[in-house]
Each structure stands twice: as structure tokens, then as C-alpha cells.
Amino acid sequence: MLTQLQRVSTETRFTNPYWEYCFDRYRMPSGAVGEYHYVHSRGSTVVIPQMPDGTFILVRQFRYLLQRESLEFPCGGIKHGLSTEENARQELLEETGYKADNLVQLGEFAPCNGITDEMCTVYFSNALTQQAPAPDDSEEFEILYLTKHQITTYIQRGELWDGMTLAAWTLYLSSDFS
């Protein structure tokens, strides 16, 4: 059985509306005390929205850190005070202009478990009502309606590379909805 690492102390070094930069000291398997720097987050959500004709709604947006456009399912960090479902609904509306009339949770995954304690909850919706999108000031989106085959092609060509979208798509493909 693996040794469960024990926290000795924790300190928050920086906070913003989305996450906290933390510094922990912890007991290593050898008994020595080590340092761990990480991002603490409230989590995130991804929604896989499917239209009545079977196409899926994805958004293209510019990702600042990588300085390139990214093709993604609607997603975002959980805003203070929201449940995962409330956040998923809000992200879908903000990014696509669609309201989810139903949401089914497909699963969860850890986007980057060596750097952050974030858990991402994935939802599916195939009952959508169109409304007006309301993106944040920092966001701009191009909405795409893609078939399952087109999504696979974008993945194979390396044009759909966002890890959260890839993980969410894997959960979808293993669900009863695919």
C-alpha cells in the first residue's frame, strides 16, 4: 500500500477570483519534509451540448497562455457560490447563447493533478433553447456546429487539442448517449 502523504502546513500566497496559489509543506514517504506548490481551485465544468440534428456545439476562442486559438466544448472555472450544475448552465449560456433544458452528469476528471487540485465535472445536454450569448469581457467566441465525425477528424489532425475537451469527449463516448 502506498504511503499517504500528510500535510504539515499550508499557506496561500496569492488569491484571485478564480484560484489560489498555495504552498504546502508535507511529510514525504522518507519522513523528510518537502515543499509542494500548487493551484487550489473550486473546480470547473464542461458541457457537451448536442443539437436535435445530432451536431455538437463547440466554441473557438483565443487562449492567451498558448497564444493560439482553441476548439473546445463550453467550459469554465466554478464561480464563487455556484454548484457544478449551476456553473455548467451559466458557462453554456455565456459561451454559446444556449440554455440547457436538461443536464446529465457524465463524470469527473482531474485536468492536471500535479499542478492543481481542480476536479472538472462533465455534463451532457441534448435539450437546448437558444437565447443571447453573454460572454465575459475577456472572452470572444466563434460557435461551431460539428458532427461526431468532424470532431474525430479535428482530433486526429491535432486541431482539437484542449485537454478538458478531449477528456470530456472520452467520457461522452463511453456513455449511453454516444
**CA nearest to 134, candidates 91, 70, 100:** 91
Query: Which cell is 164 given?
Result: 478538458
Residue 122: its pLDDT value, please? Answer: 98
CATH code for 44-173?
3.90.79.10
Claim: this prediction has a pTM higher than 0.85: yes
**Domain-by-domain residue ranges, the chain?**
6-41, 44-173
Q: What pLDDT digit, counting tens, does each position of 70-117 carry?
A: 999 999 999 999 999 999 999 999 999 999 999 999 999 999 999 999
Residue 133: its pLDDT value, please? Answer: 77
Q: What pLDDT digit, counting tens, does each position of 13-70 carry?
A: 999 988 999 999 999 999 999 999 999 999 999 999 999 999 999 999 999 999 999 9
